[in-house]
Structure 1
Amino acid sequence: MLPPDGEDAEVLNREHVTTRKDPMTDLVIRPITAGEEKLFDSLPDPALVGRAAFGERYLDMAAAGQYRPEWTWVALRDDVVVARAAWWGGPDDDQPLALDWFDFTDTDAAVELLRTAPLRAEYSLSLPPGWRDDPAVRAQAQARIDAATAAGMSVLVERYRYRWTTGCGLPDRPGRLTFRPEPDDAVILDVLRRVGEGSLDAHTRHTAATSGPDAAAREELDLLLWLPSPRDWWRLAWTASGELVGIIVPARNHTDPIIGFVGVVPEQRGHGYAYDLLVEGTHLLVEGGVTEIVAATDQTNHPMAAVFARAGYPIERERVDLV
């Protein structure tokens, strides 16, 4: 849903203004209005964690339409921002998909902000590789994790994010498998359901545990269909004898070419086929003219992390996901 404008936007924002009494001063929690982006940006922050640690600027991203005023919240004391949170969603989404901008100078205000804002989405905290080795970075990260936890969230998983470039070298195709597009979503859904059996992916396991394996497969398919890249990029992989191996989804999100999904069905695991799938996806994207590819996997998914390393994908950042 696109953000409301004009008078309706003002009504929406006034309805969600919340005041918390404090012995020293009142705490006001509210979404910003259009034109208040610099207010959000006024919070002092050392830019050691989160998007800012990687050179991304909220003002630039907001100007590009990546953050909507009604999904961008602040907590103020005496008109000074002491906590801020921005939720992200795609241009056609009517609900945010992730909280990925969360900073504060007042922990209590930060917790109240997350409790008060009527927005619920996974919190994705981007961190430099090896972030625990730097005391200042570790302290900034842990403060945000603790605040989100106090607001009712919990850590689901830690992840690696990779960025392959042509300078990393293009790995040779192993040549063991045949890859074909599959236009039928029902077939893809069944493959995703099979791939989900015994999956090491924390998000898949979480959804399967809370809503069932069919829901986990459906959620994965819906996310892949949400991506703005062509559906016909997807490939199923087959052995020379015609046995299904799995699925590879080279894709694009709203900013980068990506490896959207790599999955091997249970009966084909143990043969190293995930590497074949990743390499094929890399080749397909490069053949389409890309020079960089973003990908990610759970840190606890050791086999997939080893596949990315073997294929020459360097770790660009780490991430902690809370739900």
Structure 2
Amino acid sequence: MSSVVYRPLVDGEESLFDSLPDLLPLRQISYAEGLAGGGFHPSRTWVALRDGRVVGRAAWVLPPGAAGGPWLERFDLIDTPRVGASLLSAAHEALGGPRPYYPALPAGWHTSPSVVSAIAPALVAAESAGLVPHGERLRLRWTPGVADDRPAADPSVRPASGPAEIDELVDRIVTPDVLTGSETARAVAALDLARQPRPWLTGEATAWHVAHGGDEPLGLLGTAGQACWPMLGYLGVLPGPRSTTARAALIGAALTVLVGDGAEEVVADADADRSDVLADLKRAGFRPVRARLTFEPAGA
């Protein structure tokens, strides 16, 4: 078998990345759009070439002004996992070490043999290159056409009284239900969205809601209306028999506010193993549109 060359792109040969067709049907920005926005760069884009043909490609993204380091956003492989691992290892050495990898996959990918076979070599290669899987999260999207059963606004939900109440509830909520864009918050601003949502969810379109039973708070939700899409940015409920009721009420209140501000779609990210959270989101009209796996460097 012929040898493989591993190297980064140089200015002027950006089209080499697109010479390998996309392997998965996904709604995502193109490599050209990423270059124009400054997130992608030829020096952080590596290819594996066999006889001059691209058989593997990897692109790390780092938005302008980001406080964190780059993460692997695009990794496609039509050769063996060994070739993919060698590509990542060569790039890791140049980048100063392994970086997180967040592969995006179509919703329901587990049950699609064609998707599984397309992504399997890259996932095996990532582990061989020292990246450890840390779970799966789903992105769900609400649109008016699927929201006929959206919860009505609930009087048990009110606006948060201010930053002190938000921070106090965040401290009490051990495991939030929804953290939308947590990977981006970590990489761009070095923020843990589960513990520091308020510095990330800022701007005039941000609204925080508290579910309560009498004088007792039951949960907290923060929205964002001026990000990539209107979103449920943070949602967490306190343990107890009314947690499901509080979650549904918060989702309904947030949708009412966002739609009132003109949102035509709203997104939310939740862990794939949180069946209770996913059920409440689906009852409100959210539908899965994408899965995202998380790989972290060993020891991270």
SS of residue paired to 2:270: strand
Q: Secondary structure at the match of 2:263?
A: coil
Corresponding residue for residue 143 of structure 2: 165
Deviation at 1:95, TM superposition (A): 3.3
Q: CA deviation at 1:174?
A: 4.5
2:18 to 41, 50, 72: 41
Q: 1:167 to 1:202 in 2, by over 3 A?
A: closer
In the TM superposition, 1:240-255 aligns within 5 A as: 241-252=214-225, 254-255=227-228
Shift of 1:298: 1.2
Give the direction of change, closer, same or farther, for the CA distance of 1:219–1:295 in structure 2 (3 Å limit). Answer: closer
Q: Could you tell me how far apart the structure 1 residues matched to 2:110 and 2:208 are?
A: 38
Note the 1:237-316 alignment, pairs <5 A.
237-239=210-212, 241-252=214-225, 254-267=227-240, 269-316=242-289
Measure the CA separation in 1 of the matches of 2:123 and 2:291. 14
In 1, Cα distance between the equivalents of 2:242 and 2:151? 21
Q: List, as ranges, runs of 4+ consecutive aligned residues in structure 1 with deviation greater than 6 Å.
A: 200-203
Alignment of 1:42-61 (within 5 A): 42-43=19-20, 45=21, 47-49=22-24, 53-54=26-27, 56-61=29-34
Residue 291 of structure 1: CA displacement? 0.4
1:27 aligned onto 2:5: yes
Counterpart residue type for residue 42 of structure 1: S
Deviations 1:80-119 (A, max 9, x none): 4332111234332143464221012333232122223226
TM-score (norm 2): 0.79
> Where in structure 2 are the equivalents of 1:125-164 lying within 5 Å?
125-164=103-142
Q: 1:132 to 1:236 in 2, by over 3 A?
A: closer
Q: Please give the secondary structure, in 1, of the residue aligned with 2:26.
A: helix
| Partner residue, 2:45 | 72
Q: How many residues align?
A: 281
Partners of 1:261 and 1:135 in 2: CA distance? 33
Q: Deviation of residue 270 (structure 1)?
A: 3.6
Structure having greater relative contact order (Cα 8 Å, sep ≥ 6)? 2
Question: Match of 1:177?
Answer: 156
Partner deviation per Cα, 1:36-77 (whole Å, 9 max, x = no partner): 32122222x3x342xx53364322333343423333222334
**Cα pair 1:189 1:218 within 8 Å, conserved:** no
- Distance change (3 Å), C-alpha of 1:247 and 1:89: farther
Which of 235, 238, 247 is residue 208 of structure 2 equivalent to?
235
Match of 2:168 in 1: 190
Match of 1:101 among 74, 95, 104: 74
**CA–CA separation in structure 2 for the residues paired with 1:253 and 1:88:** 21
Instruction: Give deviations 1:134-179, integer Å, cap 9, x for gaps.
Output: 3221111222211111111222222222111122236243424232
Letter in 2 for 1:28: Y
Structure 1 spans left out of the alignment, 5+ residues: 1-22, 204-216
Compute the RMSD of aligned alpha carbons: 3.1
Partners of 1:91 and 1:268 lie apart in 2 by 45
Q: State how far apart, in whole Å, the 2-side matches of 1:28 and 1:89 are.
A: 21
User: C-alpha distance in 1, partners of 2:170/2:206?
Assistant: 16
Instruction: Go from structure 1 to structure 2 and tell me whether the alpha carbon gap of 1:319 and 1:253 turns closer, same or farther (over 3 Å shift).
Output: farther
